[in-house]
Amino acid sequence: MSRLDPGVLREAWNTDYRKRGALYGGAPFQLPDLPRETCVLDLGCGNGKHLPAMEGRGWAITGIDAAEEAVRLCKRKRVHLIIGDGRHLPFREEVFGAVIGIHILGHLTEEDRPLLIGEVKRVLGEGGVFHCTVFSRNDMRCGKGEEVEAFTFSRQGIITHYFTEEELRTLGEPFEEICITTESYQVRLSGKLYTREYLHAVFSR
């Protein structure tokens, strides 16, 4: 069995959630401006960090994650929660007005990332948008851990890929329009400054 086997990677997430509970807290990322009642898929919803803010927008939300331990922690009464695989989404074609994927694409292998992109396009309706956030190669953690693929590093069994804008733009080629922006800021750890940097892509169908 390959160390990049999807089942092994999924179990690494389950193990982390079992050990540490709700892994991600703090303020949610900035959400897109979408009309109320938009059907939104939170792809890779994790323990539901962004779901309360999404609910406050009045959207009709479905959350999906491959890690059952993460979905168990979500506990959102007004969100349809599903355990499922982003590479094979269990939805009909063109059922969502928007898909939001915050740090999901970068936790997939090079082989699997295009599969997720294709599935997202399939489930988006005409004019739908995919809001995607990934780590940039300028991020402080790029290079930390075991390199299992080019610019993809494993730490405690969880892989993270670090992107260039060109790479992300190439992945988004199945979409009609692509807009990519960069967010970069400094954090101080043990008296030293480090860079956190994300790429935010909006892929429009």
Domain regions of the chain by residue span: 6-25+34-135+161-184+198-204
* 105, burial (CB in 10 Å: exposed 0-12, middle 13-18, buried 19+): buried
Number of alpha helices (DSSP H) and beta strands (DSSP E) in the chain: 5, 10
| Those residues with Cβ within 8 angstroms of residue 162's Cβ, 6 or more apart along the chain or in another chain | 106, 134, 135, 136, 137, 139, 141, 142, 151, 152, 153
Topology classification of domain 6-25+34-135+161-184+198-204: Rossmann fold (3.40.50)
Residue 21 has pLDDT above 70, yes or no: no
Residue 15, pLDDT score: 87
- Residue 20's pLDDT band (cuts 50, 70, 90): confident
Count Cβ neighbours within 10 Å for each residue of 38-77 and write b for 16 or more, e otherwise.
Answer: bbbbbbbbbbbbbbeebbebebbbbbbbbbebbbebbebe
Kindly report the pTM of this predicted structure. 0.92
Residue 22, pLDDT score: 62
| Average predicted confidence (pLDDT) for the chain | 92
Give the Cβ contact number of residue 186 at 10 Å.
Answer: 9
Residue 42 near residue 50, CB atoms below 8 Å: yes
- 8-state DSSP, 107: G
Residue 108, pLDDT score: 95
What's the alpha-carbon Rg for the chain, to the nearest Å? 16
Q: In Å, what is the CA distance from 202 to each residue of 149, 172, 185?
A: 25, 9, 21
Residue 1, pLDDT score: 35
